[in-house]
Structure 1
């Protein structure tokens, strides 16, 4: 298959985009790579790759502590990323931006600090039925420790939250609501602002898992008024091993540190330790300097095109793929919410998702198969797992057509 890159909008040229991603220009199993596993991790533009190597080749040094030229340069570049992230998500203050290893660590940090400090026996934490394990297990652990109760917002068969039931779950016992902005398994975009407003009405704080949403949707943490927001660099064209936790300044200041060590301290003696100011109170030890700097390059790449333009293009991919999949006998879409990011999960009658993934891989097509770290969701939908095709700004209509043609041929052969 020869992949055409002529698909474009007036403001968006996918051919130009694809030239920026070196990994896309290869063959797998004798076929051009079609990478549809973007909900797991996105590929990296050359500017991100270059930012990592440029740091190590030109100003590799530890930050915040040295007064020599390389240390000053590294510190300045590292802190520039914090300012870039602040603007990217609409935070009021740079010190509200905490660097973590990813969304998982951000949620665990909030559970282990704010949650442990404020939850007591008889209190309740609310999550939804579509959560990633990373937004279930930390709260389970906290509830078990504190004698609190975990409540779950149900979903419809189409993969949307039952908001009437959410309203019924809320009470004066509710202390924390932690929900996903966009589902990694279904693509569902949840009405986050309304969820937050209702939680605040009963005095609860709200944690938002933004892992899937941040690369697709405009995010303004002040506009939606969330208390905490976490996301990962590697899902928005940046490196692995670096993520962000946003928290309202007054909440972060009142929370205890997450880890002890260098950088997070102000003064240490054997008698007592005083802690550093925000954001450093939550950034113990030598951080992931190179990847943090490269995260800025990823955000700048997204800003170069603009999220509204990217979202419009990705939605055109989603709509085309949805139509093609719906017209294949034996294929059933899982997750048909009205509002979605560019994710299509599906099952095929008579073919296990793992087997289907292997057969598509033989055609050069990379999709994700399994439960996608959402086992309770799969059990709710009475399925073992799904195959998931997820699209990014460098994918094309031609790739989707090739994928759908291959899928249709597999279904005809093996059903």
Structure 2
């Protein structure tokens, strides 16, 4: 039995990027935490994470690592067999991982990353790049046999200011080393050194489809701390709607709330130039047009039922409620300025006009006035 120390690499998280790192102290020692008072330490960034969002297949990573190693931008770190890393599976017979200097990180970013990710790295890593601009090129390999972390965890690199408890933007503190034991001959079953579920496109044939949405979610996570308190309710409502849609629990009430919040979010363009109103009007017209056949059936049934009292029909307000959908009535009532707060007399005087509009718009004539006016219009 031999003692094994399990370590967790600290991680910088920003936007769609998750980059694990380590500190090179000297040719045989490393740290997981920064300690500026104990001599210089060079931050190195895990090559598997740097290439995870590039679309380059895992089996092709070694070729790229070797190319950057020739330029002194990458190195292969060989760890003593007593060290194992949470979330990283490497064969015990070859306990090694590729890491890059901050210069190598930028070289990969500007060669393979999107402009948004390049900007994120520039904003967060420029101070590190400046402080290590005169570092010597990396050797092709180092063999680590000693960990020199202090008991007190220091400030982590990769951001101008560590933002704690903010989703999608934290610098994750490394876990303390866990000492355990394993059989001397115990080997990892596979060589999967990049184990973040979304960091290896090859592990799922359709993950390329998900990456754009995933990047958007990460960017949203970065922006959450900037949201005003008054906006939180709207954001929460929209997130709930996304969750309901993904889990197939979407219902009309959820959509209604979200649509109303968006419509009231700001003052949109005036009525003559509003593309939003035009779109809503077009959609409503299409929905009302589809309802025409069912409305006709209802009107025909009403006429048969009242065939003997055609000259003694119920009041216009009752007819509109009985024969036409509430959405149609609500649209026209509010359009005419007859909301629920309008006086009873006002609504009563305008209801015959409302009924006439609904009869004409739906091509279903009920009252004598509609028949006379329609005949007159057709004749002209």
* TM-score, L = length of structure 2: 0.25
Instruction: Indicate the structure (1 or 2) with the bigger Cα radius of gyration.
Output: 2
Compare relative contact order (CA 8 Å, sep 6+) and give the higher one, 1 or 2.
Answer: 1
* TM-score, L = length of structure 1: 0.24
